[in-house]
Structure 1
Amino acid sequence: MRTPFLLIPLAVALAAGCSQEPAAPAATAPTAQKAPAAPVNAENRSHDESSYAEPEKVVIKDIALDLKLDFDAKQIGGTATYTLEWKDKDAKQLVLDTRELNVAKVEAVAADGARSALPFVLAPVDKVFGSKLTIEAPAQPTKVEISYHTAPTASGLQWLEPSMTEGKQLPFMFSQSQAIHARSWVPLQDTPSVRFTYSAHVTSRPDVMVLMSADNDPKATRDGDYTFKMPQPIPSYLLAIAAGDLVFEPISGRSGVWAEPTMVGKAAKEFEDTEKMIGAAEKLYGEYRWGRYDMLVLPPSFPFGGMENPRLTFATPTVIVGDKSLVSLVAHELAHSWSGNLVTNASWKDIWLNEGFTTYVQGRITEALYGKEMAEMERQIDQTDLLAEVKDMSPADQALALPPLNERDPDEALSQVAYVKGSWFLEFLEQRFGREVFDPFLRGWFNDHAFQSANTDQFVEYLKKNLLPKNPNAVTEAELTAWLDQPGIPAFAAKAQSRNFSNVDTARIAWEGTGKLPTNQLTAEWSTQEWVRFIDGLGATQPLDKLAALDRVFKFTGTPNGEIAMRWYPLAIRSGYAEATPAASAFIERVGRRKLIMPIYAELVKTPEGLDVAKAAFEKAKPGYHPITTGSVQDMLSKAEAK
């Protein structure tokens, strides 16, 4: 999942939702009076504190879904049939994660199809982890089926009215399962330490196209009845579904774009280099193992830049700006096909194994296609933002190998440290050993751990066995500890240095000293990254006359480019440049991507007048925001009102 340039923590305030009484068989054990906390095992880095599941006793190997989408009720309902592998001969229970699910019945399914009811209990709601579902299964059945339906407020689903879409004709629905939101639309072992294959039969209203993170057929008929199969084992956070007025446009024989009809052509043009990206990654790290690589462009309410659902990356339309300057998002989500999807962090405290590796691979893909300077500019922006962010972080959160999360929401623990410090560490290893040694090592890591979940201890062991002996004097134990376990960025880390940014800085300094704006001849070739550097260098505030002069020439106010908007509007608000406020308000009403809108909200809420603007904008935007975005904004507004 791509979240570059993030300027605020990823804290998410999500309500657990209404409690429920499951329609359990009479033999169901009495419900506990207090929601249990997820277990903690600090000795095992593969143990996932964010899940109630007990994979050391039993694991889900396959899920067969039979679901119906109800746009009127904003619910998904049906059955999930699990193929189980029992590991502990004495285990008597199957424990699953749920959030706001209404569980109607649970049955064991025998080989001949015979069914028998299994007693179950759905524990009270925990505000972070949802409700623990405990199924009594002393006979250790190979197959278990659960009948259930979701709540309209499921944290992992967003239901959009037609007016909230690009075409404004049909409703839209999509999921966001990472980190622990899959449990809000399927009962399962919601932990990245468990991987399963799945199939699905999905029915819906016949005028919408349904897609999943599976084998979507580009030639599928839109008829309301769809089947899917995912033959490669995936963790639960990669389970994904979407439905809406979607059409397909191919990019290559194995890649293409799904989007609303008015968007699909623009998206395919913007992403036309995707096949070249796949080829560049394959040269570095081996075969792409997922069959097709398609992209789904979602409505602007999607809360993230992208989500690496296998075979079907979810992408924000905010990266479609017409010049390919933001297609590094595609490179990032594609890179997950090796780091994250192929080799997964076993628990969320080792998320750097997913996002740090992916950010590094993204840089290599960007460099292969668009040159070293483009990759260096992106690295320098990322590193600059990380150094600013860690100043306000706890020391423990600045380590790559995080301590056990205990009762902490994994969304809350995610920061730029996992992405940028993780990538920076791999760049450090590359510099010390050289690409001719480091590239085969990284390729070996992906191959040797393919379709597995791993932890930091396993990576360090692999590093010491397969890389460090290549040059025993290249890296010390103290340097490894500094990267993995200590706060901040090691003093010996080499920083990215962009030549283009030096020219941008020169132009900005000249303007600040003389008042003479950079010439159009100079700025005509500037990429988004160079404009980001220019605005970031303007400091906390600027005189109103200077902002007005910049705006007249470069038209920052009203820009369709989200990366520029998220920097220009906060600068304008802090400086008192009121002319930009209506456009800033319109931007946060239209866009739901948290990375782009939260810095604007953060500046608005600092004054009573700005808080009023923020509240009014939020009221207009809230029906189209994703629950994750709604929670983030509501939390910020509540804290500002309480001051």
Structure 2
Amino acid sequence: MRILIAAAALVAALPAAAQTAPQSIPSPILTTPEAKDVWTHAQPEVARVTHVAVDLTADFDAKIMSGKAVLDVLAAPGAREIVLDVDDLDIAAVTDGAGKALEWTVGPRDKDLGSAMTVKLDGAARLVITYKTRPGAAALQWLPPEMTAGKTRPYLFSQGQAILNRTWIPTQDSPGIRQTWEATITVPEGLVAVMSAERIDGAKGKAAGKKMRSFRFRMDKPVPPYLIALAVGDLKFKALGPRSGVWTEAAMLDKAAYEFADIEKMIDAAEALYGPYRWGRYDMLLLPPAFPYGGMENPTLTFLTPTIVTGDRSNTDVVAHELAHSWSGNLVTNATWSDSWLNEGFTTYFENRIMEAVYGAERAAMYADLDWDGLVRDIAENGGQTGATTRLHGDPGSTAGQLDYFKGSVFLRTIEKTVGRDKWDAYLRGYFDRHAFQPQTSAGFLADLREHLLKGQPELELTLQLDRWVYAAGLPDNAVHVTSTTLAAVDAKLAAFKAGGPASAVQPQGWSTQEWQRFLNGLPREMSAERLKELDETLGLSASPNAYVRSAWYVLAIGNRYDPATAGMGDWLKGVGRGLLIRPVYAALMAQGDWGKPLAERFFAGARSSYHPFTQGQIEKIVAGK
């Protein structure tokens, strides 16, 4: 049974002195055993943060953010302290809302979780924490002008998922502890700050004798703290519709606007499927290449990698994915990272439904078919049907590859095919309404599914194999595989080439990214230098402007120790910060031992400073052989 702490009851039970600070009605938290978050120091059942207000100044020379955070606290009767998550923050002082100093301590640093910051409440319902970040804050990436499109002004962006926001905001950094928030961000004049919230204003002012400008933001809906996001740069905006638009540097603005022109159609399609979009605006921020992911679903302002801008709109599935997160992930959120498939699997399924509604069933089938390839590959490479990391629910961060995305979406598609689309869509729409602005667990979802969809039908339960999908390894035998006729045509060309046909017969003109991926990933892993040269020269692989193509080609070439492909590899690795595309290349190099390891080390040494700290850590482990 799902157990919720009733916020109103907690407020009523608080001593009068603890109710002096204004409190909005906070989102409930889950207290079932499976909702225990092992990636936080917080004890939300004792005292928790309900609202965060930061007032910070960005110092690009020192690479620090400095100022204060004001936290509203909801504490259980008798609670004497609150525990926050911090990581490498320089804390100067902590007071209550009236300016009274409060006792506080910061515990030893755990290499993964940072430190526990414990504050004695002494009846306080509001904390004011004065602090600074450090130059190496893992959530923040400070880019020099030369790493931007304009080359004249610096850039700053944050990436908080999963638990990195504790490196720039002292709060309870757990997805199950939803918080409203507001911010004032002061930056050098000439730069623009944007955040994942409603923008209130941008007023000029002065700070420390320099011309500065402050921007104010407000998020009045409770969100998991990893969704608090910031970017500062020489940013321009272009409207794409009545509630959507794109921010980016001037050099990329028109390209981005063209690539994302269908966003209003996507929003309409999503609402028709699963209910109203509840976040106001849906804007997008196209970042510099150093951004480590394809996209990040920050409410009101999706962050996107420039690698998806290929001029043919073939990668707008990434936009559909981040939009779908506005329901699955942002509206209903995994309570812990052990259940991240509730965010990513749901969203991958929903993304595909948006693509089908906007672009047709065959294009959606193409994406689903490729996802199936990825799922089969992830399972095969991680222990097969008995591999522990092929479970959906498990230790946080322990699932193989993109299994949360692929196995999770195939699970939901299997339910859809079994019960029928109309019944499934009605259920999902109700699910998002019932659990809006709340955390969720696998156990909670299955209980809801049984109550509102299965309704005591044991034969249907047996057919669906619900527990096996979520808690067991491998792929259940009822999994639904959607196939694509477009990719089948690519497979035919692939078969002809593998049978000895010329590369000139492939004729990839007009291919989408997905067709390229199917072809390149389907090529034999062992090929002669002559055959690789033929492919490269005929299809222009080493010079492709498509980052997906370059990544897949480099992995194939490295596996055969094809030296000519390494000529531009270092520059490419330095110019692409997206982990999904560069991790396989470094891993392929390391797998080649004495031939590849020196190349991996040299390329990483040259590219390291251009990567987000999170990506740096990932590549470091690969190059170190861990």
Say whether the fold is shared (TM-score over 0.5): yes
**1:101 corresponds to 2:84:** no
1:608 aligns with 2:594: yes
* Counterpart residue type for residue 303 of structure 2: F
How has the CA–CA distance of structure 1 residues 491 and 414 changed in structure 2, closer, same or farther, with 3 Å as cutoff?
closer
500-509 vs 387-396, greater mean Cα deviation:
387-396
User: Is 2:184 aligned against 1:195?
Assistant: no
Q: After the TM superposition, which residues 251-270 of structure 1 pair with which residues of structure 2 at under 5 Å, given as runs?
A: 251-270=240-259
| Structure 1 pair 473–340 and aligned structure 2 pair: CA distance change class (3 A) | same
Q: Does 1:620 align with 2:612?
A: no
Query: Could you tell me which residue of structure 2 aligns to residue 163 of structure 1?
Result: 146
Structure 1 counterpart SS, 2:499: helix
Task: Name the residue aligned to 2:79.
Answer: 91
CA distance in 1 between partners of 2:481 and 2:274 (Å): 25
Deviation for aligned residue 1:299: 0.8
Distance 1:281 1:220, change over 3 A: farther
1:508 and 1:518 in contact (8 A); partners too: no
Query: How many Å apart are 1:493 and its aligned residue?
Result: 1.1
Alignment pair present for 1:207 and 2:195: no
C-alpha displacement of 1:517: 3.3
Q: Deviations over 1:287-313 (max 9, x none)?
A: 110000011111101111111000011
Aligned to 2:455: 469
Q: Within 2, Cα distance between the matches of 1:397 and 1:93? A: 37
Structure 2: 5+ residue stretches without partners: 1-29, 206-211
Q: Distance in 1 between matches of 2:127 and 2:349?
A: 41
Task: Confirm or deny that 1:448 pairs with 2:440.
Answer: no
Normalised by the length of structure 2, the TM-score is 0.91
Q: Take 2:313 and 2:481, find their aligned partners in 1: how far apart are those partners?
A: 26
Q: Tell me how large the CA RMSD over aligned residues is.
A: 2.0
Map Cα deviations across residues 86-133 of structure 1 (whole Å, 9 max, x no partner).
2x2121001000000111111111xxxx32110001001111110100
User: In the alignment, residue 354 of structure 1 is paired with which amino acid?
Assistant: N
The residue aligned with 2:389 is 397
Report the CA distance between 1:220 and its aligned residue.
Answer: 8.4
Match of 2:208 in 1: none
Aligned to 1:312: 301
Per-residue CA deviation, residues 577-598 of structure 1 (Å, 9 max, x unaligned), is 2221112222111111111011
Q: Deviations over 1:167-194 (max 9, x none)?
A: 1111111001000001000010100111
* C-alpha distance in structure 1 between counterparts of 2:389 and 2:31, whole Å: 16
Q: Deviations over 1:316-357 (max 9, x none)?
A: 000000000111000000000000000001111111111110
Aligned to 1:241: 230
CA distance in 2, matches of 1:372, 1:117: 62
Number of equivalences: 587
Distance in 1, matches of 2:508 and 2:156, equals 41
Change (3 A) 1:132 1:336: same
Report the Cα distance in structure 2 between the residues aligned to 1:138 and 1:53, rounded to whole angstroms: 18
Superposed displacement of residue 470, structure 1: 8.8
Q: Is 1:131 aligned to 2:115, yes or no?
A: yes
Alpha-carbon offset, residue 425 of structure 1: 0.5
What is the Cα deviation at residue 471 of structure 1? 6.3
Q: Which residue identity is paired with 1:390? A: I
Deviations 1:533-592 (A, max 9, x none): 111111212222222222222111121212111111111121232221112222111111
Q: Return the TM-score normalized by structure 1.
A: 0.88
Q: CA deviation at 1:391?
A: 2.9
Structure 1 pair 482–163 and aligned structure 2 pair: CA distance change class (3 A): same
Structure 1 residue matching 2:571: 3-state secondary structure: helix
| TM-fit CA distance, 1:46 | 1.3
Contact 1:218–1:248 (Cα < 8 Å) also in 2: no
Matched residue, 1:530 = 515
The amino acid of 2:621's aligned partner reads D
Indicate which of 592, 599, 620 corresponds to 2:584: 599
Q: Which amino acid aligns with 2:174?
A: T
| Corresponding residue number in structure 1 for 2:130 | 147
SS at match of 1:78: strand
Matched, 1:512 2:498: yes
CA distance in 1, matches of 2:472, 2:436: 29
Q: Which residue of 1 aligns with 2:220?
A: 231
Q: Counterpart in 2 of 1:175?
A: 158
Structure 1 residues 435-584: aligned runs within 5 Å: 435-469=421-455, 473-476=459-462, 479-517=465-503, 519=505, 523-584=508-569
Q: In structure 1, what is the Cα distance between the partners aligned to 2:278 and 2:400? A: 27
Alpha carbons 2:80, 2:120 under 8 Å: kept: yes
What displacement does 1:502 show? 1.7
Q: Of residues 570, 574, 580 in structure 2, which corresponds to 1:585? A: 570
What are the Cα deviations for residues 501-556 of structure 1, in whole angstroms up to 9, with x where unaligned?
A: 22111112112224233647x53232211111111111212222222222222111
SS of the counterpart of 1:474? helix
Q: Which runs of 5+ in 1 are unaligned?
A: 1-40
CA shift, 1:398, in A, is 1.5
2:279 corresponds, among 252, 271, 290, to: 290
- Measured against aligned partners, the alpha-carbon deviations of 1:112-164 in whole angstroms (never above 9, x if no partner) come to xx32110001001111110100011132x121111111110011110111111
Alignment partner of 2:55 out of 54, 63, 66:
66
Deviates more, 1:151-160 or 1:380-389: 380-389
1:218 and 1:248 mapped to 2: Cα distance? Answer: 15
Identity among equivalent pairs (%): 42
Could you tell me which of 366, 376, 383 is aligned with 2:365?
Answer: 376
Distance 1:218 1:468 in 2: 49
C-alpha contact (below 8 Å) 1:191/1:347 kept by paired residues: yes
SS at 1:97's partner residue?
strand
SS of 2:35's equivalent in the other structure is coil
CA distance in 1, matches of 2:252, 2:532: 33
Quick one: which amino acid aligns to residue 84 of structure 2? L
| 1:292-441 to 2 correspondences below 5 Å | 292-393=281-382, 395-402=387-394, 405=395, 410-411=396-397, 413=399, 415-441=401-427
1:408-443 per-residue CA deviation (whole Å, 9 max, x = no partner) reads: xx4565742211111111000000011110001001
CA distance in 1 between counterparts of 2:541 and 2:484 reads 24
- Give the aligned residue type for 1:437: K
In structure 2, relative to structure 1, the CA distance for the partners of 1:412 and 1:488 (3 Å cut) is closer
Corresponding residue of 1:35: none
Distance 1:572 1:251 in 2: 40
More off after superposition, 477-486 vs 336-345 = 477-486
Alpha-carbon distance between aligned partners in 2 of 1:42 and 1:341, rounded to the nearest angstrom? 20
Q: SS of 1:129's equivalent?
A: coil
Q: Is the 1:69–1:77 Cα contact (8 Å) retained in structure 2?
A: yes
Does residue 76 (structure 1) correspond to residue 65 (structure 2)? The answer is: yes
Q: CA deviation at 1:613?
A: 2.1
